[in-house]
Amino acid sequence: MWNRRWRRTWCLGVAMTLLSVVSACAVTTEQVLSSDKGMVAAAHPLAAAAGAEILEMGGNAIDAAVATSLALGVVEPYASGLFGEGYMVVRMADGRTYSIDFRSKAPEMATYERLRSEDLTIKQISRMPQGACVPGVVAAIEEVLSRGATKPLAELAAPAIRYAEEGFEVNRTFAQICKDNFTLLSGNAPDFLNDGLAWEPGETFRNPKLAATLRTLVDKGLREFYEGSIADDVDAFMVEKGGWMRKSDLWDYKVIEREPFRGSYRGYDIVVAGLPVGGPRLLENLNIFENFNFANMGWDDPLRLHIMQEAFLLTQQDLRAYIGDPAFNRTSAKGMAAKDYAKLRLMKIKLEGATTADEWKDGKSKPGDAPAFEEGGEFRRYFALPKAAALEVWDAEERESASTTHFSVIDRWGNAVAWTQTISGFFGTGCWVDGFFLNNEMGNFWNEPGGGVSDLAPGKRVRTTIAPMVVERNGKLRWVLGTPGGGRIVPTLTQMLVDMIDFRMTLEQTIKAPKIMSSFVEKDGVSLMEMESGYDPATMQALENGFGHKVDVKPFPHLYFGGPNAIEVGLDGLLTGVGSVRRGGAASAPEK
């Protein structure tokens, strides 16, 4: 079972404040909450309450998701907003599922040639107007409203408009992220600051510009964002500041419906976002782990954590090689998610110790042969096939922001939405137009062309690691999951599923359990395992001295590891929502 020592540390050392939220309707909001009337879990109590308010009014999960998305853009303007993007997985009460890819895409003017002509790099433009990609959040809202929403946009946007006009109390997360990005905001968005100063906890933040923008969308329709006055404002800003996006880019944007990726782990069915994001890597992780008896090892057994470290290193290289926009590159998401391919990757796991610099250089840094399994290849026949030349993975700097936001919704009828949205880094480019920040998704393309899935091209959707999902057991909904956290997203969600399935943790227990993150630091030649405090000291010592990993301990709870906001469906149908302990999240439910 999981570490009782850590559980005592949590109970004694971390006091979780339960927040009551004033709402226009009767809702209850806490960090952990149970209800049989529907549930919303989000990274901010007010955003969760906005969704629950819609459920209380008789709205369904899609209605509540739209309200939550819009509210998050007000109360977490640093993490998402109207100029953001993302992915959602929807499961209807009858078991039907679909996913909407509303990832941003590069504007038509965005090319490596233009970068060179302006003497810029991808890294440099990530905090400039040139760093923005064409956003998808508003188009996603338009799409899901046509797929089963029961409430008009005016009602769904009402909580967000109320928060923007009347204001809300700045919490510690808001204030700290503002302080961390003060230089950026001072240069790019001084009007966002509080008379030139960073916002402090307890102060009241209002955003009348965003309220006016939301009212425009309600009055004139969501296409106003892409074809009307808001698009005109973005175009004018870009022309004035030397940015690359134009109104024509906004006009041309479309969301894409994609089949969710499906996999299984020890009898549980995983339905997760696929291309061009992190779902295939998550399934690859689970397929590898299915070959081990983790429950027999124990939750903080150093051997189990070592195996996870080794697998995470391998699957990260596969993601970097094979996951991208299928309209532009050869991908191998199905191969990555194949159980027989997991056996091939399993052969690369070194049980007796950490991967060394020589081993990394001599082959473990290379992606596996996932394409051989794309059309159902079998492990036992693989070794008789001719081998393709090993792919190179471009040695690009990985961005590791803790930004992005995720929320989960289940209504009283059993419809569910897992929705992740982002403006990439906190505050995106830092450029502020009509009350919202412009994303900096261009920073996720590679600095130089390398012939791979993350090369920059006009109209291309960049790969990221988000992985919203629903999990079923025997055809019934069990969990709605997702998290922010950059490169930690897939490892964190993988650990949550292992915690709940192998170690029988509750959702609350796994969200409050410490997490690990894995990487290989080439310049130092070491396998780096970043760990939140809470593991047994003997476990951490064994990982470092026995297995040879470099262990870096971060104090629990640490924002670096993201912040899952998720919902569990009990065997009796009771819903339990849990907000993030690392980012002040909450769950909210109607009172009637």
386-420: pLDDT as tens digits: 765 445 555 444 454 568 999 999 999 999 999 99
Q: Look at residues 515, 519, 520 and name the one whose alpha carbon lies nearest to residue 558.
A: 515
How confident is the model at residue 18, as a pLDDT? 35
How confident is the model at residue 392, as a pLDDT? 54
> Helix, strand, coil: what percent of the chain each, to 5?
40, 20, 45
Q: Are 435 and 443 in contact (CB under 8 A)?
A: no
Residues in the chain: 592
SS3 436: strand
Predicted TM-score (pTM) of the model is 0.94
How confident is the model at residue 12, as a pLDDT? 30
326 contacts: CB under 8 Å, gap ≥ 6: 275, 276
How confident is the model at residue 378, as a pLDDT? 94
Structure tokens given for 563? 């912040």
Q: Look at residues 295, 284, 289 and name the one whose alpha carbon lies nearest to residue 317.
A: 284
From 404, 429, 464, 492, active-site residue:
404
- Cα–Cα distance, 127 to 585 (Å, whole number): 27
- Cα–Cα distance, 100 to 123 (Å, whole number): 29
Rg (CA), the chain: 23
How confident is the model at residue 21, as a pLDDT? 38
Beta bridge mates, 566? 578
How confident is the model at residue 14, as a pLDDT? 29
- Cα–Cα distance, 579 to 415 (Å, whole number): 19
The separation between CA 9 and the C-alpha centre of its own chain, rounded to angstroms, equals: 28
How confident is the model at residue 388, as a pLDDT? 59
Residues of the chain below pLDDT 50: 1-22, 389-390, 395-398, 400
356 is catalytic: no
